[in-house]
C-alpha cells in the first residue's frame, strides 16, 4: 500500500506499507496523526491507540534507516533514521523516502500524519 507522510498538511515523503499482517492492521488505522519523539538518536516514535497482533511474525527483527516499524511492547509506531540493531518485539512494516537528516532534526512532538496515497 502506498502512503504519504505529512506535517501540517504538507506532504514530506512518500512511502509504502509492506505486505504483512501487522502492516495491514496499521493500514486500518489510516489516516493516523500523532506527535513523534526522538528515541536514542536513531528513531522517532509514537504510541499507537491500540496493540497490533504480531502472531506469526518473527520474534525479533532488525529494521534499517528509512523503514517504518512496529514495537510490540510499546505499542509504538517507529520511523527509523538509523539502525537500532536486532531486538525482540520489532516488526518491519514499511518504508519512507524522507531524507534521514530531515527526520533526525524534527523537534520532539512534531505531528506527522500517515495516510494512504491517492
Structural domains of the chain in order of their starting residue, each with its CATH number:
2-116 (2.40.100.20)
Query: 32-59 burial, b for 16+ CB within 10 Å, e for fewer?
Result: bebebbbeeebbbbbebeeebebeebee
Q: What are the grid coordinates assigned to 35, written together? A: 506527535
Cα–Cα distance measured from residue 94 to residue 90, given in angstroms and rounded to the nearest whole number: 12
CA 86/CA 77 separation, integer angstroms = 16
Instruction: Please give the chain's pLDDT, 118 residues, in tens.
Output: 999 999 999 999 999 999 999 999 999 999 999 999 999 999 999 999 999 999 999 999 999 999 999 999 999 999 999 999 999 999 999 999 999 999 999 999 999 999 999 8
Amino acid at each position: 500500500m502506498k502512503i504519504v507522510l505529512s506535517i501540517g498538511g504538507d506532504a514530506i515523503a512518500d512511502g509504502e506499507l509492506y505486505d504483512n499482517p501487522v502492516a495491514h492492521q496499521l493500514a486500518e488505522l489510516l489516516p493516523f496523526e500523532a506527535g513523534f519523539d526522538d528515541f536514542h538518536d536513531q528513531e522517532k516514535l509514537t504510541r499507537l491507540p491500540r496493540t497490533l497482533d504480531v502472531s506469526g511474525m518473527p520474534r525479533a527483527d532488525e529494521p534499517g534507516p528509512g523503514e517504518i516499524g512496529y514495537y510490540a511492547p510499546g505499542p509504538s509506531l517507529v520511523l527509523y533514521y538509523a539502525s537500532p540493531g536486532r531486538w525482540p518485539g520489532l516488526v518491519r512494516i514499511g518504508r519512507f523516502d524522507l531524507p534521514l537528516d530531515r527526520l533526525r532534526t524534527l523537534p520532539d512532538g512534531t505531528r506527522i500524519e500517515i495516510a494512504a496515497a491517492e
